[in-house]
A and B are shown apart, each in its own frame.
Chain A
Amino acid sequence: MPPPRCRQCPHPAALIRPRCGTPLCGPCFVTRFEAEFLLSLTPPPGSRIPAPAPGSKVAVAASGGKDSTVLSHLLQRLAPRLRLRLALLAVDEGIAGYREAALGAVRRNRGREPLLVLAHKEVFGWSVDEVGAVLGNGSRCTFCGVLRRQALERAARGMGADCIATGHNADDIAETLLMNFLRGDIARLRRTAPPSAPAQPLPPVPRCKPLRHACEKEIVLYAHFRRLDYVSTECAHAHRAFRGHARALLKALEASRAAAVPALGHSGRRLVVTSPKGGGTSGDAGGHAPLRACARCGFGSSRALCMTCVLQGALGGGRPRVALGKRGLEEGP
């Protein structure tokens, strides 16, 4: 059987696209991928998906991994055309052996954009390794993730960014949906669908996920064809993460039918969760609880104190595990 030909041009195919089975040569695949990226930055009006407007300032969350490297590469190429002003934000969580090499890649890939590196230790007073020492056996993902997102939020607000671009891909979004269902995290499931109105009084900086339609395999292939420099070490604590279970399920579903990944994304966008009971102020149609300002730091929070403050307080008070349970959110530090 002769090797398959590229669908667009007479050259031999270099790959077969995972989802639709189209054979493509390298350059044609790169062209398609980039065009789809551009399309995801211009969502249909009325779809409530955040996207940077022309002339806006975009803070790009760069971790040095494959997703954010592809993201920053593509945004750098597109910035003149879309008239975007970029800045790179990198976060150093303080996990030994994981972040240093990745931050090196971020520095190498940087063009002329400003780069800001934030360390958990500096911003919050605790690095993830230090948290781990206090926690002992538990999972550190909550501390790492919540603090990282807060660091991005603070930095983006500080530099006056109009939106934060993150490299979440289709697989990530599908995994998150499965994970939230498995854990019964109704609050996060409510936030899966795009919000209909910005929260008051302190709206968080909008998050934009231009790679939300790209599957992981294609991102790796794109990085390969464009010879991008990234670091792909797995976090040392990843084996403890609950996400691993959701990921295993996703991979099995994807092997059976590749369309499961975008289907999960679609399901997530179309989820209709019942409104929170006895909500005093009215949420919007999606049933979101209104965001208010944290009593301590003033950033957006769904409760009296934001999770960051609760975690910090718990760490400071020597009771980190309490913050992870339900009581931590009610009592506060």
Chain B
Amino acid sequence: MGTWGPGGCGPHHVLGLCSYSNCFREYFVHKFRAMLGKNRIIFPGEKVLLAVSGGPASSAMLRQVQEGLSRETAKRLRFIPSVIYVDEGAVRGQSPAQREQSLACMETLLQATGFPYYLVHLEQLPASILRPGPTTPSEPNVSYKEAVEGFIQQQRQKGYGDQDSGTSLPGPGNGESPEGPPSAPRLPAAALTQELLKLFGAVQTLTAKEELLQMLRIHLILHTARTKGYTKVMTGETCTRVAIKLLTNLALGRGAFLAVDTGFKDDRHGDVMVVRPLREYMAKEIAFYNHYFNVPTVIAPPLPTKRRDKPSFRHIVENFLLGLQKDFPSTISTVYRTGEKMSADHAKPSCESQRCLLCLCALDLDGGEWGGLWGGIRRLGAL
């Protein structure tokens, strides 16, 4: 059967549905379910928001959820998914026509899944978002079973009717879009787009632009999750993406927050937890899966660059890791496993006033060696 390690031997020939692909599919699906089952974070009947970018990984994740929900009752995944797609076309240099086209493609794709979906634009991020959100402290030492029962109690009290039994799921064909334009996707007002472009124009380096985009995107997704009552958000970071993020964040000075930035569960936001179920999949496996099982994707263009721009950290690290991976095939998984050993202990703030408004982690202000000596001291006496 061969091994399916990173860069390892995949099926040697691609002839439609060859016999290898079933084994591969079983392996792929099993990994997803094992990831969710092992971590026991998602409660049955819980509302989960899937953050889909149209890229290969999140599209594969969407397909996994679809398949997982449609199995026979005993093995079925038992949460209630909805999908969110954030249109970043303005920042990515797409013309309004291109943006409309991407949105139309995504809408068709999402309608076909039958899940409720939200198409939001990055411009719609309200400025009020940069305010501390409510925190629900998680109770330690509660077993999964007790947590599920507590959750179901909570849902009953809120009066969600029979949703907590997990049986009433939106069936296929229910293209309900709880918030979104009725027929053709509409772009936001030009003034809002200009504001956003001005913000990004003020940022000098590509590295900073990418970080800003990530931050705004997650804020918007969380805002949507909070206002619509979702308690979990699933994002499609793969093993490759996690390894890249680990090294990039080290270079950004975020060594204290590696665990929340890349771990399976990210609970710094308090009431909404971000979950990364694809983090053990290599990018190559996703690519094989999407190819074999015809998973549709809508690829967004990268951030536009000028000739004088220096490459961003993410870009440098990606090239480096993929290059090293060719000679040392365990590079990416080694970096990933190292990242798994990081602890989230000091990443979460002790109280709201100690929380960074942008990244929502504990303020890392203990300057000590970092603050004054970087770049040189202003006023010094002679030796």
Contact = CB atoms under 8 A, between A and B. Distances in A.
B151 to A, nearest CB: 27
Contacts of B254: 267
B346 interface: yes
A263 B343 contact: no
B160 interface: no
Interface of A is mostly: helix
A77 B334 CA distance: 45
A268 B207 CA distance: 20
Contact of B256 (A34, A259, A271): A271
B142 interface: no
Interface in B291-342: 310-313, 316-317, 320, 324, 331, 334-335, 337-338, 341-342
Contacts of A182: 324, 331, 334-335
Interface stretch (B11-19, B33-41, B245-253): B245-253
Contacts of A34: 382-383
Task: Say which size band chain B's interface belongs to.
Answer: 35 or more
Nearest to A49: B369
B341 A259 contact: no
A82 B382 CA distance: 15
A189 B259 CA distance: 14
Given A20-B375, A181-B246, A273-B342, A262 B316 contact: no
Contacts of A184: 334-335, 337-338
Interface in A266-289: 266-275, 287
Interface of B is mostly: loop
A17 interface: yes
B364 interface: yes
Interface in B334-377: 334-335, 337-338, 341-347, 364, 368-370, 372-377
Contact of A272 (B331, B337, B345): B345
In this complex, the member of A17, A180, A181 whose beta carbon has the largest number of chain B beta carbons within 10 angstroms is A181
B341 A270 contact: no
B189 interface: no
Contacts of A321: none
Interface of A: 17, 19-20, 22, 31-32, 34-40, 43-44, 47, 49, 77-78, 177-178, 180-186, 189, 212-213, 245, 248-249, 252-253, 255-257, 259-260, 262-275, 287
